[in-house]
């Protein structure tokens, strides 16, 4: 068991962290009507999004695909999809340059830390 934990810690050390930002859209037309474009009842609105801090992967493409597979949504009522991706260090640099301390702390606190290794264990 100890050897397995050592291997896992060593493997994690070589991976980078990525931040994948998503956008959520809600179809207000699906609340009171059928919500379909063909009947003229689709009414989409942009809503909030989520920043996912992805660890345990070494390619940003894999991080984007993981977030879409695990947290993406695509149905008549809502859609959630990746819109921006960067390394964790790039995200931290953006936050320091563009936001005040309180808002930066808020964004960091709202970000969700995820990993495909944890997803497999769950």
| pLDDT one-digit tens code per residue, 65-120 | 999 999 999 999 999 999 999 999 999 999 999 879 999 999 999 999 999 998 55
d(CA 119, CA 30): 31
For residue 15, what pLDDT is reported? 81
Residue 22, C-beta contacts closer than 8 angstroms, at least 6 positions apart: 49, 50, 51, 52, 67, 71, 72, 80, 81, 82, 83
Q: Report the alpha-carbon distance of residue 101 to residue 98 in Å, rounded.
A: 10
- Tens of pLDDT along 8-52? 555 555 689 999 999 999 999 999 899 998 999 999 999 999 999
Who contacts 77 (Cβ-Cβ below 8 Å, separation ≥6)?
Answer: 26, 27, 30, 35
67 vs 105: CA distance, rounded Å: 23
Domain boundaries, the chain: 13-121
- Amino acid 98: pLDDT: 81
> In whole angstroms, what is the distance from residue 35 CA to residue 6 CA?
52
Exposed/middle/buried for 113, CB within 10 Å: 0-12, 13-18, 19+? exposed
Whether residue 6 is predicted with pLDDT greater than 80 in this model: the reply is: no
């Amino acid at each position: 068991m100890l050897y397995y934990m050592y291997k896992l810690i060593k493997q994690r050390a070589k991976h980078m962290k990525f931040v994948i930002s998503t956008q959520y859209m809600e179809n207000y037309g699906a609340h009171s009507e059928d919500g379909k474009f063909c009947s003229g009842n689709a009414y989409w609105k942009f809503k909030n999004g989520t920043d996912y801090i992805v660890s345990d992967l070494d390619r940003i493409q894999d991080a984007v695909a993981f977030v879409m597979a695990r947290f993406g949504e695509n149905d008549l009522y809502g859609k959630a999809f990746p819109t921006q991706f960067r390394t964790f260090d790039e995200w931290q640099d953006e936050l320091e340059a563009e936001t005040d301390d309180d808002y930066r702390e808020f964004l960091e606190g709202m970000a969700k830390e995820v990993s495909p290794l944890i997803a497999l264990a769950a």
